[in-house]
Amino acid sequence: MRMLFATLALAATTAFTALPAVAAVLDIPGATADFLIAPAGDAGDFLFDAEGILNDGTDFLPVDVRLALIFETADPYGTATAFVDISDMFGLVFSGLLSSIGYEEDLLKLVFAGAGAGVFGDGLSLDLFFIDPVGSNPLAALVDGASYDIAALGQDVAPVPLPGSLPLLAGALGFMVLRRRMAARA
């Protein structure tokens, strides 16, 4: 009997920890983005509409991605606002508003919070790679009226993961409690 409970506990915890984590991935292999400065010269618009491929963990789907990033030229990262809409042939897959922005050499890191029918969970992390070099401060280097070749890679914002040892610990504790109860009955 003890062997049966031990085997069941081990099998349950092993099966629970072996579940694969499937994250949705958005790939935009190439797009052209346009940058325009408002007539007053104090605000810029970085816009693109591109075709991409969405891997939702079960299938590869063609999608249309629209992004608008608007900022004041004096403080581009502090004033940035943006939205992204991702649609497939059936309609809207994800729509989100910018929650954070970061940058590196020829790279913008955008995080969008929104709703996506579970495809991207609570949000989308989108990395925009400038194929045309723009340097270490991408938004400050953009030129009015210019078009930029970009590529992008997006994935769902990862929730805090469950430690892999937690189910094993829970199973071991449960087994110890069960064993103690059985010893008390005897």
Give the model confidence (pLDDT) of 20-79 as tens digits.
456 789 999 999 999 999 888 889 999 999 999 999 878 899 999 999 999 999 999 999
Asked whether residue 18 carries a pLDDT value surpassing 50, the answer given is no
- Single-letter amino acid code for the residue at 44: G
Cβ-contact 110, 128 below 8 angstroms: yes
Split into its structural domains, the chain has a count of 2
What pLDDT sits at residue 157?
Answer: 79
76 and 143 in a single domain? The answer is: yes
Q: Are residues 149 and 75 in the same domain?
A: yes
Average pLDDT, the chain: 82
Paired with 53 in beta bridges are 27, 62
Reported pTM? 0.72
Same domain (yes/no): 12, 87: no
E strand segments, 105-178? 107-115, 123-130, 147-156
8 Å CB contact between 2 and 179? yes
The verdict on 55 and 79 lying in the same domain is: yes
Does 170 share its domain with 123?
A: no
Please report how many Cα atoms fall inside a 13 Å half-sphere around the Cα of residue 162, on the Cβ side: 13
Residue-wise burial string across 10-33, b where 16 or more C-beta atoms lie within 10 A, e elsewhere: eeebeeeeeeeeeebbbebeebeb
Judgement on whether residues 109 and 179 belong to the same structural domain of the protein: no
